[in-house]
């Protein structure tokens, strides 16, 4: 199931779905880095979308965007 989700990100519908999958990714990375690394291209695209996409600009808190930036770096 995790593979199926990570193959489909970033999501185009509700922008909060991208926030949810990134929060899940942060937790998953703590216990299963290999899975996250396998999908890092998709995770990075999702992170960038959350940080710069105008549709996300008002919906996501600045602190969350900072967490996303720190995770990707």
pLDDT tens digits, 19-66: 999 999 999 999 999 999 999 999 999 998 888 877 766 677 888 888
How far from 63 is each of 5, 12, 26, 33, 70, CA to CA, in Å? Answer: 25, 22, 14, 23, 11
> What's the pTM?
0.86
How far from 60 is each of 3, 11, 18, CA to CA, in Å? Answer: 25, 15, 10
Quick one: pLDDT at residue 58?
65
**Is the dihedral angle over the CA atoms 34, 73, 63, 65 positive or is it negative?**
negative
């Amino acid at each position: 199931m995790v593979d199926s989700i990570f193959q489909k990100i970033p999501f185009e519908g509700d922008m909060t779905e991208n926030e949810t999958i990134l929060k899940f990714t942060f937790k998953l990375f703590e216990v299963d880095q290999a899975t996250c690394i396998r999908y890092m291209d998709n995770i990075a695209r999702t992170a960038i979308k959350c940080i710069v996409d105008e549709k996300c600009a008002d919906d996501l808190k600045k602190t969350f965007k900072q967490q996303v930036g720190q995770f990707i770096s």
